[in-house]
Amino acid sequence: MNTNDTRLYFEQARAHHLAFKARLRAYLYGSPADDTALRAPRQCSLGKWIYGHALPLYGDLPGMKALESVHNRIHEQATELIDLYNSGNKDRARAGLADIEPTAAELVDLLTQVERQVAGDAAPGHSETFRAFGELMQANQELERTVRAYSDAAVSEQKTLYEVLMQLPAHISLLMGDTFVFELVNPPALAVIGGRDVIGKRLGEAFPELEEQGFGDLLMQVYRSGEPYLAKELPARLNFPDGSTQEYFVDVTYLPFRDSAGSIVGVISFSYDVTDAVRARRRIQESEERFRFMSDALPNQAWTARADGSLDYVNERTCRYFNRSEEEITGAGWQHVVHPDDLPGVIEQWTRSLQTLEPYRVEFRLLCHNGEYRWHLGQANAFTSSSGEVKWYGSNTDIHDLKTLQDRLQQAYDDLEVKVRFRNIELERLNLELREKLDGK
């Protein structure tokens, strides 16, 4: 083999090496391909060159054994990166391309060393065949530059998206594969889980308690169907290393994550912690339940009203008294049970109190379920919250018997006064007659 043929022969090997690096980079950036040649040293084009040609011809040269060893090592490194990529750790896999470069440079140096051992330091020839392979090498280099440019653009775009996801207030996680390996977890989500290291771990490994609560089934439902899953105030229990357990409530959205070919390769989780809101609402509900329990235990009618004067609650005793539902009485429905003669004055007094926030006090007749109008004392006071919201708390007390007794006492008093008056007149008449008789004598 002359010098030109030797040079051409080893340029071919270098072209195979560049093509291997380009295919590996393309694979790690999402180009679909068979990874067999990237994993197996004897299956790649450079491996076929080494084992099919170079070793049989130059196996006795010291540099060939070293070349074979370095070639095997670069495939081991490529296999590790492919496994990282396939497990969902794409960023770590792509970052590992830089770690391969020293090994790749060592391989190129060994090719040059073996070439010199075979052909000496003679200057390269200029045959047409050599120029053709030189052009092939330039084409491979250009391909690598193009792939690198696209990959750099993809990295830049991915980095921007990554930074956006990291800054969003929502809890965001990316779980890859059908075992749901955590590839990304943003800071708000990390804060909830106590900063524990979950990257690269399966859901069942990182959070066995969530697996037990059925979250893995929900993720699998999205992964298999491709349909999003949404839930409000979903309860979730987390266990912590110190043995404590914390219950959370979250608004959850699970979305299928697809690769460039449209295949589902994972699930994106968006969630918002609504625990404080749920607990606050529960406290309010418990407070309202206690208030209802207390008001239902009162011996009189109890009610509440909004700032505009419309009733928004009446206790059970009120409903029983009028034999009407709460919905029929609240709002302005209470006006239908007020005696028509009393209603204008009641509305006037109620309107004045709403405007001035002065205590409301009025006596009026209300229609009982038996068809009888009975006198009641209506009273209410306004409560103003720290936010300025006004709420009225009032009651109606049946004073009909007392009112009737007062009327009877008043009537009795009036009757007595009339009788006394008539008696006085009779006495005066008798006194006058007596004087006339005395004067006549």
How sure is the predictor about 120, in pLDDT bands with cuts at 50, 70 and 90?
low
pLDDT band at 297 (very low <50, low <70, confident <90, very high): confident
Residue 291 binned pLDDT confidence (cut-offs 50, 70, 90) = confident
Residue 138's pLDDT band (cuts 50, 70, 90):
low
Give Dmax over CA atoms of the chain in angstroms.
187
CATH number of 169-273: 3.30.450.20
Delimit the domains of the chain by residue range.
3-165, 169-273, 287-398
Alpha-carbon distance 178 to 438, whole Å?
Answer: 130
Pairwise pLDDT comparison (44 vs 146), residue with the higher score:
44
Query: Which sign, positive or negative, has the C-alpha torsion 404, 407, 409, 411?
Result: negative
**Secondary structure of residue 254 in the 3-state scheme:** strand
d(CA 4, CA 122): 9
User: Above 60 in pLDDT, residue 161?
Assistant: no
82-96, 382-396, 406-420: segment of lowest average pLDDT:
406-420
Averaged pLDDT, 205-215: 90
Q: How confident is the model at residue 214 (pLDDT cuts 50, 70, 90)?
A: very high
pLDDT in tens, 44-82: 989 999 998 888 888 888 788 899 999 999 999 999 999
Residues 6+ apart with CB under 8 A from 193: 185, 207, 238
The highest-confidence range among 145-159, 191-205, 227-241, 403-417, by mean pLDDT, is 227-241
pLDDT at residue 351 is higher than 90? yes
Which two tokens mark 421? 């008056």
What is the rounded distance in angstroms from the CA atom of residue 137 to the CA atom of residue 13? Answer: 10
The whole-number average pLDDT for the span 193-219 is 86
User: What average pLDDT does this structure show over 384-408?
Assistant: 87
For the domain made up of 287-398, give the CATH fold: Beta-Lactamase (3.30.450)
Domains 169-273 and 287-398 share a fold: yes
Amino acid residing at 149: A
Alpha helix ranges (H) inside 1-96: 3-28, 36-39, 45-49, 55-58, 62-86, 90-95
